[in-house]
Structure 1
Amino acid sequence: MSDRLRTSRRTLLAATAGSAAAVAVGSASARAAEDGTVDRTALRALIDRMSLEEKVGQLFVMRVYGHSATEPDQADVDKNLEEAGVRNAAELIAKYRVGGIIYFGWAHNTRDPHQIADLSNGIQRAARQLPSRTPALIATDQEHGIVARVGLPATLVPGAMALGAGGSRADTRRAALIAGRELAAMGIRQNYAPVADVNVNPANPVIGVRSFGSDPQAVARLVAAQVEGYQEGGVAATSKHFPGHGDTKDDSHYSLPTIHHTREQWNTLDAPPFEAAIAAGIDSIMTAHIVVPALDPAEDPATLSAPILTGILREQLGYDGVVVTDSLGMQGVRTKYGDDRVPVLALKAGVDQLLNPPKPEVAWNAVLQAVRDGELSEERLDASILRILELKARRGLFRNPYVTHDGVDRNVGTRTHRATAELIADRTTTLLVNEGGLLPLSPREQRDVLVVGADPASPSGTTGPPTAVLAGALTELGFTATRLSTGTAPSAAKIDEAVAAAEGKDAVVVGTYNVTASSAQRTLVQRLIATGVPVVAVAVRNPYDVAQLPEVRGYLAAYSWTDTELRAAARVIAGRTSPAGRLPVPVQRADDPGTVLYPVGHGLSY
């Protein structure tokens, strides 16, 4: 432990010891860690000591810019002043008494594991300055796969659909356990994962590979496994997005989607993964900014719907844990109501945590005023705060909210974790097409390989663009691999360049990303095939790409473009491992969507 961390910890532990209520809650937290129970009497006593302002603050999970709780870069100070009227995380906590903070890569919260640990400790020190000295609950979206806020050198395990292709409950649980231990070591104690949506719509623009698949029972089994893994690892799991975002063609970040499932369809398709999460003891469930008329005829977003959150989630499914909104900055929840009404309506619907309001001061004051005006009772706030404090106690935050650099080094990105992630990934890569036994390629017979294709923005901390990672992995496996990034919408000039670069090569490996009927990626692949050089395609996101490229003789689904999954795909291409993944979603024909081209369970092996 560094001298600064050791001194700060001694100071704060001494301050905590001066509060009998805090000591009582710390004891309750210790019991929670040992036997799963929580002393509600001690927690209620803590709530009784809170001012109304503190109670309102406990309901919010806000973002803040910067790598440090007290000394962020000037650009981050400027953003914080612009958005929240504060300079840093410590001031945010002091002003709004917030109960939680969410980390984002784009907010410069997650540079590296030691920095994250220091930021977490700084936030906890600031939280201990509040009158109640209640620790903060620090959260992030670490789904893995295409959504990873904390990147290398932390371990990047395969994402949900890749794990769905692997089909192993043990692997899925193990991946979450690794992730949970690493997040907890950095001071992050709530993870907004796993995704419990059943992706039955190939055109879904926001879920896709973030889902485990299209079979509700298979998804339920793997959701439960991840809940167990994350929470054993020390973080609160969060299944999302209730009541189910898997059958939308619109993105709730930008619009308000409607799901037209009947109540019977919802019971069969959407409910099972959430029921499984609840049965597994999940700590929190996230709402969706979607309309489901069969569940609420008023057609309010589920986040603001009492019939959905209280009537179905609380009463029908019997869930009494924390309910957290999806980001309140998303357009889906802002379509019908203003930013001052959304947080109040969410609380009235049954929400406990209000995540990432776009205008923190407006949202915080709106809730405060709603209590003062009698629209919300203080007892209503107390019920949510008790759930939040119980979660914090279960995660040991009252006992000791701080982390150390030594703990980071012992847990984050260890050789054992990375090796386990690689082994899991080897069991997920799916071979969809292998005409004429094109694969595996041989570094002796097909040594000179060109790697081209899409380079989507990489999750935080990956070693480079996907084409570079794939080319590097193939080179390590004995090939001479050169790389040309052609992008997700290659121009005619870029396609010509790729075709010229393919001349004289033994094979071309092309990464595809969300290929559509009008995509220039189709033209690129067709032109490459016309050269006569063998072409192997790797879908680096949705496996549905294969339907748009029927001419390709060798096609793999990697389900993501992280190092872990691309390196696993390279091992399959080189024949170092046999492909073991099986499609967790069906792929329909592009020219006849009513006909299944590759069914659930399809996958070839060597």
Structure 2
Amino acid sequence: MVHAIRRDRSFRRRVTVTAAVSGLLLSMPTAVSAEAPAPRGWVEKTMARMTLEEKVGQLFTTYAYGTSADTDKAADVTRNRSWLGVDNAEQAIDKYHLGGVIYFAWSDNLQNPKQVASLSNGLQQAALGQPAEVPLLVSTDQEHGIVQRLGPPATQFAGNMALGASGSERDARAAGKIAGQELRAVGINQNFAPVADVNVNPANPVIGVRSFSSDPRLAADLTEAQVRGYQSGGAGVVATAKHFPGHGDTDVDSHVGLPVITHTLEQWRKIDAPPFRRAVDTGIGAIMTGHIQFPELDPTGDPATLSKPIMTGLLRDEIGYDGVVVTDSLSMAGVRETYPDEDVPVKALQAGVDMLLMPPNLDTAYNAVLEAVAEGELTEKRIDRSVRRILTLKQQQGIVKRPFASPYGVDETVGSPAHLRAAQRITDRTTTLVKNDDRVLPLTDDARSVLVTGWGEATTSQLTALIGKRGVTAASHYTGTNPGAATVAAATAEARGHDSVVVVTSGAGANPGQSALVNALIETGKPVVTVAVGTPYDIARYPEAGTHLATYSYREGALESATRVLFGEVRPRGKLPVTIPRADDPDQPLFPLGHGLSYRH
């Protein structure tokens, strides 16, 4: 009943605009602009009327199950009660006064653009119905490439390393602008992107193609361009550079363990820091922490998320960043190995963090912060510092003024023909011809029959279809991630019945069956083209291959670009954004940074 009364009072203070979108009602309470205070005034006036409980709630971002804010579907209610102790997101906002909500497909938040817009508006309506009347940061991870939450019909890009291969700041900014406009159209106002990590470790299991480059300068240039794309040019989405202080030289995935980086302070300044410095200089809205151990930066062994020398000493003091710092997910193993779950949010705040993302038990984390204030481990002044940053971000990025998705912007913005064309043009500039020793490419009329084989059932099938559209007979033979001898033999036998073979690889370094497949196909004497659709390092595992493409992505746009290159419809223009080391001597380059071939016309 109290909840209903709050909502009624809040609604009387607003003008409500309701619009129908294909049968969905998007309710959009809009603040009366004539009464809107000056930016600084709004922050201070809002904080002055907030209780401690409301302030602490602003520090948390989490997820809730369901396609709508007030879902009553039995499956959603059951999962929400187990996860949050409430039925739905609306009740979670009422109970915990959340500062942010994050969307995932697995939490049933991202079915289609109109549904997402309706969900976002329902969440904002619930937040603005609270006494403090503070809109939410609604976030997701739309990095593109291998981490992409909002799928088609939203415009898809090949990802950061593909942009690194183009080397174009203009393309990186355009990709950020398009993605930002589409996210904002469905009510998502914060993107946990770009990844600013400098991938100097070819064995990195969690960053890889999510990084722009192994070159700090190129990574910094493209990070700046993406930040500008997201936060300006009509996009108005908060960009979030991650994962500070830099996750690019790890060989452990922080989702399952605690990675250790051995860079010295000077190495950190030269390798890891430049993209984050550039992001700060560009006015980035937020920075995300990494759950990584960096002994030379903090000898205590604390993960960076919980390290005051790193979060305050380096990020705040040395780099000079005074904006919002958000943790990576607190459910990840990398931040849970050293301290109990109830201590982690308190230690993160003590370190200098502002927002706490997805703690494994929200109730435990929320009450732990309140208890820390009551017991003197944290002061309310310290809480105020973070809340002030969060409210200022919401105001500066236009979320206070424009919290709702427009019902008219979804169809005309998300996956628009202009966006799709721009994305394909950008992707066409990323495909890299690494080797063409056999002069197999571009394919000639002699290639009347092509076998597509190798990694990725959907990928080999898609590539086969694209090749078939060129008037060529194309067949698909999926061999799996790590094919055994019998599978290799079967693919080799089928290859003998075709004029040319295209072999798709991804993760060949960890899956020797892929290089065995490539080598067996080469021995048939047929023209063989290898295509790495993940990291470009695969060629080091089968250096005998005479013709090799790197796409950095298995998304449809990247496969379309690869097909255009195969048939000479476009010239390969990408340059390696990383150095590819030799497999037998990692200190020696097989192909240097910046290498890339083209066709002569």
Residue among 579, 587, 599 paired with 1:594: 587
Aligned to 2:545, what secondary structure does the other structure show?
coil
Cα distance in 2 between the residues matched to 1:293 and 1:594 = 24
In the superposition, the TM-score normalised over structure 1's length comes to 0.93
1:526 equivalent in alignment to 2:519: yes
Matches within 5 A, 1:67-466: 67-71=67-71, 73-232=73-232, 233-442=235-444, 444-455=445-456, 465-466=458-459
Cα distance in 2 between the residues matched to 1:83 and 1:98 = 15
Cα distance in 2 between the residues matched to 1:365 and 1:322 = 22
Q: Deviations over 1:564-594 (max 9, x none)?
A: 1111111111111110000010001111111
In structure 2, relative to structure 1, the CA distance for the partners of 1:72 and 1:162 (3 Å cut) is farther
What residue number does 2:500 align with? 507
Q: Deviations over 1:468-519 (max 9, x none)?
A: 2211221223322222222212244433332233231111111101112652
In the superposition, the TM-score normalised over structure 2's length comes to 0.93
1:496 equivalent in alignment to 2:489: yes
| TM-aligned CA deviation for residue 5 of structure 1 | 6.7
Cα distance in 1 between the residues matched to 2:470 and 2:76 = 42
In structure 2, relative to structure 1, the CA distance for the partners of 1:41 and 1:349 (3 Å cut) is same
| TM-aligned CA deviation for residue 341 of structure 1 | 0.5
Percent identity between matched residues is: 53
Q: Deviations over 1:25-49 (max 9, x none)?
A: x454xxxxxxxxxx22321110121
| TM-aligned CA deviation for residue 596 of structure 1 | 0.5
Judge which range, 512-521 or 120-129, deviates more.
512-521
Aligned to 1:249, what secondary structure does the other structure show?
coil
Paired AA for residue 403 in structure 1: A
In structure 2, relative to structure 1, the CA distance for the partners of 1:7 and 1:186 (3 Å cut) is closer
**Is the 2:26–2:407 contact (alpha carbons within 8 Å) kept by the matching residues of 1?**
no
Aligned to 1:237, what secondary structure does the other structure show?
strand
Q: Deviations over 1:329-379 (max 9, x none)?
A: 110000101110100100111111101111111111111111122211111
Aligned to 1:238, what secondary structure does the other structure show?
strand
Residue among 12, 15, 20 paired with 1:2: 20
Cα distance in 2 between the residues matched to 1:175 and 1:193 = 12
Cα distance in 2 between the residues matched to 1:320 and 1:107 = 32
**Is the 2:26–2:118 contact (alpha carbons within 8 Å) kept by the matching residues of 1?**
no
**Is the 2:27–2:122 contact (alpha carbons within 8 Å) kept by the matching residues of 1?**
no
Cα distance in 2 between the residues matched to 1:471 and 1:107 = 33
Paired AA for residue 568 in structure 2: G
RMSD of aligned Cα (Å): 1.6
Aligned to 2:27, what secondary structure does the other structure show?
helix
Q: Deviations over 1:511-556 (max 9, x none)?
A: 1011126521122222222222221111110100000011212111
| TM-aligned CA deviation for residue 213 of structure 1 | 0.6
What residue number does 1:462 align with? none
**Is the 2:26–2:121 contact (alpha carbons within 8 Å) kept by the matching residues of 1?**
no
Cα distance in 2 between the residues matched to 1:524 and 1:77 = 48
Q: Deviations over 1:405-460 (max 9, x none)?
A: 32011211011111111111111100111122111113x3212111112118xxxx
Cα distance in 2 between the residues matched to 1:178 and 1:379 = 39
Cα distance in 2 between the residues matched to 1:65 and 1:488 = 32
Aligned to 2:241, what secondary structure does the other structure show?
strand
1:480 equivalent in alignment to 2:481: no
In structure 2, relative to structure 1, the CA distance for the partners of 1:404 and 1:517 (3 Å cut) is closer
Q: Deviations over 1:232-257 (max 9, x none)?
A: 12100011111111111111111111
**Is the 2:236–2:397 contact (alpha carbons within 8 Å) kept by the matching residues of 1?**
yes
Cα distance in 1 between the residues matched to 2:238 and 2:561 = 29
Aligned to 1:105, what secondary structure does the other structure show?
coil
**Is the 2:143–2:193 contact (alpha carbons within 8 Å) kept by the matching residues of 1?**
yes
What residue number does 2:3 align with? none
Cα distance in 1 between the residues matched to 2:56 and 2:168 = 42
Aligned to 1:405, what secondary structure does the other structure show?
coil
**Is the 1:508–1:533 contact (alpha carbons within 8 Å) kept by the matching residues of 2?**
yes
**Is the 1:164–1:212 contact (alpha carbons within 8 Å) kept by the matching residues of 2?**
yes
Cα distance in 2 between the residues matched to 1:300 and 1:560 = 34
**Is the 1:27–1:399 contact (alpha carbons within 8 Å) kept by the matching residues of 2?**
no
Task: Report the count of equivalent residues.
Answer: 578
Cα distance in 2 between the residues matched to 1:422 and 1:89 = 37
Which consecutive unaligned segments of at least 5 residues does structure 2 have? 1-18
What residue number does 2:6 align with? none
